[in-house]
Chain A
Amino acid sequence: MTSDLTKLRNIGISAHIDSGKTTLTERILFYTDRIRAIHDVKGKDGVGATMDSMELERERGITIASAATHTEWNGYKINIIDTPGHVDFTIEVERSLRVLDGAVLVLCAVAGVQSQSITVDRQMRRYNVPRIAFVNKSDRSGANPFKVTADLCDKLKHNAVLMQIPIGLEADHQGVVDLVTMKALYFDGDNGETIREGAIPAELQAQAEEKREEMLEAVSMFSEELMEAVLEGDPTEEMIHTAVRTGTLSRDLTPVYIGSAYKNKGVQPLLNAIIRYLPDPTEVENEAMDLEKGEEAFPIEVDSDRPMISLAFKLEEGRFGQLTYVRIYQGSLNKGDTIYNTRTKKEVRVGRLVRMHAADMEDIDGAGAGDIVALFGVDCASGDTFTKNRLRVSMSSMHVPEPVIHLSIKVVDRKTEANVAKALARFTKEDPTFRTKVDEESSQTVISGMGELHLEVYVERMKREYGAVVETGQPQVAYREAISRRAEFNYTHKKQTGGSGQYGRIEGYIEPLETGEFEFLNEIRGGSIPQEYIPSVEKGFLSMMKKGKLIGFPVTGLRVALQDGQTHAVDSSDNAFQAAARGAFAETYHKAKPQILEPIMRVSVEGPNEFQGAFVKTVMQRRGLIVGTTEEEGFVRVDSDVPLAEMFGYSTDLRSASQGKAEYTMEFSRYAPVPGDASDDLIKKFNEDSKAKA
């Protein structure tokens, strides 16, 4: 509890698919003595690496879900947060980036910096995460850590500096030369667990000296003391470490390490670098949002004596039951505490608090600020904030992006229906960008998310984890409708058919609302409509927003101002005013020039130079807009904005246009109006479909 925070590291290991992230994580856990045997990711023994808890991940060789594993190295505590590697899982990636203080960027020594690394790096930059790099797979044919380091500088604009040079590459990869101590390191024993120091091999002496000089030159920018010592010719190891740390923490320097996790080379020096150069929790600034003051910044102090604030960043249904991973930002969290969920405004009791190790779980009594632990059996959603003393702050914004794509699903085997329901309930809790509902008209279950692949993975998970096979329909883009100009309304709802009648007149205007979905202004003066009916008017307008009148998609960005009206002593009622609002909306909507909005994706294609023309063509054919191009040595990247509706089947087209040599990333950018022709087509199709149904 009163543990030394300077001896705690919360780190992520982030990488392009197939750079060997899982193997590296697994080796780290092996050397830190938490697991007994080494398994390979796609191993013959079928056990798989411990971090890859999900069946699906094992099959694909990628890691999708994040979890935190606790381990120790040389008296330091390390929480390893597993970050998902795919961009379609933006919110999951971003949430795990929030909770970590530093990261290891794993790069493949052969493939170097790929487009995926660029995306992941961009996200880390956004969250100001200090990084060290590990050039993995140095035993593979074609391995070139020097080129990868140059790539880091050119493509990712890092100030990357080699801290080691390899002793042999490809099949001949034996170890590394540490440029700080100027010693050769070899990794002996069956699993490379014994480190043998030796003299630098004669043939590498000159190169080692040259690279050490380069390293010292770059590093001494961060310490005057070191700069002077370098000039004098007597820099100490301690001085170098301090300077590298300063540069890394300010994110102006990326120290680069070399090895091959698979061949058990270079992992322990990387661990030393993690504890030496990456920040402890007190060195990272974090802010919460004050919910009492419109999400204004609320400063956090990494102090175990202050009121507790923590973020639930991951839910996991593991071998041990329902677990909620939380990062404690401020204060301390103890067994038996009553904590407050600031989203649901409910209090829950902490029954059990645990720390997850790679293979087992340890019950603990409490944990302090900066730490990462897991709670048992707490009902909450991913992204929820827990506090003590009912403190109304949140660690993440309450605004979650709306899904951009829908997919209808149908259970194949009726017996698995309950499992589907269970799976959907869980996924929606884990991932706020994943939604599910039952369509009122077709009574089909519809799932929604941030992209085709996002939904595909959940469909797969249903099959793998819940044994539920579903059939899917055609993916459907989540269009919106929005008005583009102000229009006035003056509408009277009147019904006089025996018995009590209905009467309500309302006057005002609707206009586009630039940020947000709906706003209702009550500008009634002098009580022309009694207070009790005003919510009825608002309710009436809101009910019309579920289905726009152009193509039946939800209306967004609407401001309604109610300015005047009239009531009838007997015939006015809640219902009458709701009906008046519905009538007013229907009458005014077209006057306000509604338009269809569609999700626009930021698409980035990368591949050999000679395909630049082909890339541009694939984008232009899809109503895409070229934003720009970046030329690198032999490579070109084309950045563009493309409507999601045009992106189906893109990977196939890109593959054939580039002989399989290109890759692309896609992430949601914004909603934008559908241009005239495409908009007319959508309206026509909607009208035809409606007619067919009727």
Chain B
Amino acid sequence: MHRKEVNERSPMRVLEHSIHGGLGRGNIGVVVARPGLGKTAFLVGIAMDDLLRGRKVLHVSLEHSVEKVRDYYDDIYAEIAHKRELEDVWKVRVEMERNRRINCYPPERFSVDKLRESVEFMKEHGEFEPVAIVIDGWDFGAKTTEDIQRIRSIAEELKAEVWMSATTHREAKRNERGVPEPVAHLEGELDVILSMAHDGSSVHVGLHKDHDSDDVTDMQLALDPTTMLLVRKR
């Protein structure tokens, strides 16, 4: 099967459809879940979808090493290549790797300024301008609306989509949309909010906020626990 087809059949399209055409450039999306449900895999899935469409992705991790993140991509790539009988496996992989950068920081060394600095660095030294940025492991607890606004201005300048993960816990307070802390207090600044939760056999992906739309019906999407790929719910 050719790469284009692979992409058209991706459940990622269902996600895009559910959130009315996708996150959109210059916008910020967050996936919130308790530890261990596969937030990293979910973000890698989103990034992989962009990569398979030939788009450049910057993956920022405050949690894993470069090698670990790369393993995530390799595993998910192998899974996709195998499952959908991708042709030109080698070539696509090299192209994909050319379009991907993984930047890792200890959490205390990362900041919005740092992000700006490294985006500028990549532009200058590597002629690399991402159109999707994923930020994994950022602590939302201490973040203010101003932090999010500053990330938005980077996203707008680059015309990039920004996806972030946020960790919540069992007793976290939820707002009226069902968004748990530590994301709830920033809801107004975010364009899309997704959540992940166990529902027996799989990890259900729910939609809490979709730009300005009130229609946040169930997307019927889940994360397959073995392949860590997004799948349609039966």
Contact = CB atoms under 8 A, between A and B. Distances in A.
Interface of A: 122, 154, 157, 484, 514, 612-613, 616-617, 620, 625-633, 637, 639, 641, 672-673
B103 A628 contact: yes
B66 A672 contact: no
A524 B69 CA distance: 47
A639 B97 contact: no
Nearest to A482: B90
Nearest to B58: A628
Given A617-B125, A629-B66, 8 more contacts: A616-B126, A625-B94, A625-B98, A627-B101, A628-B101, A629-B104, A631-B109, A639-B67
Contacts of B59: 628
- Among B106, B121, B124, the one with the most A-chain Cβ atoms within 10 Å of its Cβ is B106
B102 A627 contact: yes
B121 A612 contact: yes
B43 to A, nearest CB: 15
A630 B59 CA distance: 12
Contact of A627 (B66, B89, B90, B125): B66
Which are the 7 A-B pairs with shortest beta-carbon distances?
A628-B102, A628-B66, A630-B104, A616-B125, A639-B66, A613-B125, A631-B105
A672 B94 contact: yes
Contacts of A632: 106, 109
B70 interface: yes
A612 B125 CA distance: 9
Please report whether the interface of chain A is mostly helix, strand, loop or mixed according to DSSP.
strand
B91 interface: yes
A63 B90 CA distance: 38
B109 A633 contact: yes
Contacts of A157: 65
B104 A628 contact: yes
Interface residues of B, number: 27
A629 B103 contact: yes
Contacts of A620: 125-126
Nearest to A600: B94
A154 B102 contact: no
Contacts of B66: 627-630, 637, 639
12 contacts: A154-B106, A514-B89, A625-B97, A625-B98, A627-B66, A627-B102, A628-B70, A628-B101, A629-B101, A630-B105, A639-B67, A641-B97
Given A630-B65, A633-B109, A673 B104 contact: no
B69 A628 contact: yes
Interface in B37-74: 59, 65-67, 69-70
Contacts of B101: 626-629
A514 B100 CA distance: 24
Given A625-B98, A627-B66, A627-B97, A673 B109 contact: no
A628 B105 CA distance: 11
Interface string B90-130: 11001001101111111001000010001001001110000
A342 B88 CA distance: 38
- Among A122, A514, A639, the one with the most B-chain Cβ atoms within 10 Å of its Cβ is A639
